[in-house]
Each structure stands twice: as structure tokens, then as C-alpha cells.
Amino acid sequence: MTAVLCYAEHQNGRLTDAALEILGAGRALADRARSQLAAALFGTETRPLIETLGEHGADRVLLCEEARLDGYAPEAAVHALADIARQETPRAVLFADTSHSADLAVRLAARLRAAFAPRCTSLAFDPEGRLKVTRTAYADKLQATVLCEQPAPIVTLQPGTGEIKPARRTPRVEERPLTLPQEAARLKLLQTLKADPRTVPLAQAEFIVSGGNGVRDFALLWELADRLGASVGGSRVVCDDGRLPRERQIGESGTTVRPRCYLAFGISGASQHLRGMQDSKLIIAINTDRHAPLMKLANMAVIADAEAVLRALLDQLD
């Protein structure tokens, strides 16, 4: 039976959230089409992930345990995916819209001369079983409904299109050896450079230390950010009176951020500010006012004077 195929992206021994979302979307699509969901899992030491794939709805796991597929190896991965697509004739191939997965998706589409729809917002099969997707184009101003036909239509999904949903299955594992000749991979990854937290655009920053009206001395904040390897941001008040440059402003009239951690000193959290940072994974707020809106939102609320805590943190980091 032909199946819906998902590419299971993983990093540091874990499936990425984007990959789980794709599995959710794939499961929903497969259920509606009464077909199976297969996941392509590449790389060594990936066996522990098979269970997670099952927990998110995969009926089959197509496993290629091969050291040449570890890390960023687009040529080998596309070769393996093309082999799978030719054998399986999947009804759709789903990728996350991350730099890693989207790069593979577009290469695979070019290799197979297949239909390709990036950044889709919805997916369905029409009555004849063809894949019908909507995607944004023309600088996201227009929305196109695209009919994709065989072989193996390839799509990437915008984040938030699929839902991470448990759907307990015990997947059947099928091993797929890599048939790529050794010398055929021409690209070599020389190194990966980490972004410099001082210069990375705030929207992409992973860890943000931000200050509001409760902080007078911003030199302290910059110093703390440097020590922690974080980027500096601030509320509108402090950008208005020049304590921080305008491009450091977080909130609706500034930058919308979604870091892994948001450490806020002396920010009460006007709704305009909250809307610019509420998607942060972890929020730590330090404020003397226990009823401030940001304190309610925070994972860790510290009721204390922001600047005093700032100094204490710097002392303890010495």
C-alpha cells in the first residue's frame, strides 16, 4: 500500500519539534486517506528514536543506519530519499520548513522532477487522490492552491500547520541500505559557526537578557549578557529614553522574539511588550512588583530589586 512519507529530522539524539509536527500532519493526512504513515530515519545511533516515531503515529520506519548520513550530508540523504521514493511511490512526502529539512526537500524535488510546494499551510487529497495544498507565494502576499501529481509530491509545512499529537503505534522497522558510491558526495562540511550573541538579530537570538525601567545602569546588563552568552534587549521605555538603541526594542512596535530563555530585569510587561516575547520557551522575570503582568507569565518569578539582583549575578559569575 502506498503511504504518506515523513522525513524525521533529529538533532543531538532527539527528534526536533518541527519533525514531530510533521508527523502529526502526516498522521492526519494518512488517516483521512486511509493509508499508512512511514517515517524516513537516517544516521547512526538513531534506534532509540524509533519508539518516539511510533508514539507520534508512524506505522513504518524506513531506517538507514549509515555514518555517511550523520550531520549535514545532503547529497547522501537525497540519494537515500530518492531510492525510498522510487520504491514506495508515496502519496506525499512531508518535510519540516527548517534549514536542514527544507534543503533536502528542494534537492529531492529537483532529483525526482517531482511537484514541490514549500511553506504550505494546508494539505488534503482531492477525490481523485491527488495532493491539494495551499501555500503562500509572492512575498507572502498571495495564496496559491496547488494540485500536485505523482511521482511523490514533496511539500514543506510552515511551523504550526501540524499538531504534535500522541498516536500510539508500534512501527515496523525496515532497513534501507545506502547505495550511494563513496566518492559521490562532493560537499564537505568544514565547520559550523555559532552566531555571535552581540550581533545576531534579536528575532533569531537563543537567549535574551532584557531590561526595563527597573534598570538604570545598562552597562551591567551588557556585561551580564556577555558572561552568559546572551543577547541584550529592552522594553520600549528604555529605548525611548536612549538607554538602549532602537533596534534592541522588544515588543509589538519593536522586534518579536522567541528565544529559548528570556531573562527580564525590571520589566513590568505592558501587553505590547508581552505580545513580542510571549512565545519564549522559558521566562524568568525579576521585579519588585509581584503583580506585574510579566511576573504572572514567567516560569520563574523573582520578587526583588532588578538592579541588585543584576549586581549579585555578576558577583557570583566571577
**Which parts of 13-52 interact with another protein (CB under 8 A)?**
none
**301 binding another protein? (CB under 8 A):** yes
Cβ at position 302, least distance to another protein in Å: 5
Q: Residue 39: how many CB atoms within 10 A of its CB?
A: 30
| Identity of the residue, 52 or 161, whose beta carbon is nearer to another protein in the bound complex | 161
Residue ranges in 258-297 that form contacts with another protein under rule CB under 8 A: 260-261, 263, 269-272, 274-275, 278, 282, 284, 286, 290-291, 293, 296-297
Which one of 52-60, 84-92, 130-138, 162-170 is the stretch in contact with another protein (CB under 8 A)?
130-138
Among 44, 89, 179, 299, binds another protein (CB under 8 A): 299
Long-range contacts from 43-52, C-beta under 8 angstroms, 24+ separation: 43/10, 43/67, 43/69, 43/70, 43/71, 44/69, 44/70, 45/13, 46/10, 48/13, 49/8, 49/10, 49/13, 49/14, 49/15, 50/171, 50/173, 52/15
Q: How far is CA 204 from CA 131, 153, 221, 232, 260, in A?
A: 33, 31, 19, 12, 10
Cβ at position 192, least distance to another protein in Å: 5
Cβ at position 308, least distance to another protein in Å: 4
**145 binding another protein? (CB under 8 A):** yes
Among 17, 31, 51, 140, binds another protein (CB under 8 A): 140
| Identity of the residue, 83 or 305, whose beta carbon is nearer to another protein in the bound complex | 305
Mask 158-197, x = binds another protein (CB under 8 A)? --x-------------------------xxxxxxxxxxx-
Among 62, 109, 120, 221, binds another protein (CB under 8 A): 109
Cβ at position 104, least distance to another protein in Å: 10
DSSP secondary structure of 252-317: TTSB----SEEEEES----HHHHHTTTT-SEEEEEES-TT-HHHHH-SEEEES-HHHHHHHHHHHH
* CA diameter of the chain: 68
| Identity of the residue, 121 or 170, whose beta carbon is nearer to another protein in the bound complex | 121
Residue ranges in 217-246 that form contacts with another protein under rule CB under 8 A: 228-229
Among 136, 167, 223, 256, binds another protein (CB under 8 A): 136
Which one of 19-27, 94-102, 214-222, 232-240 is the stretch in contact with another protein (CB under 8 A)?
94-102
- 2 contact partners, CB below 8 Å, separation of at least 6: 35, 88, 89, 90, 91
Q: Can you read off the three cell numbers belonging to residue 232?
A: 541584550
- Counting residues that bind another protein (by CB under 8 A) gives 90
Cβ at position 59, least distance to another protein in Å: 26
For the chain, the C-alpha Rg in angstroms (whole number) is: 23
Distance CA 2, CA 59 (A): 12
Q: How far is CA 154 from CA 29, 39, 70, 84, in A?
A: 14, 14, 22, 13
**148 binding another protein? (CB under 8 A):** yes
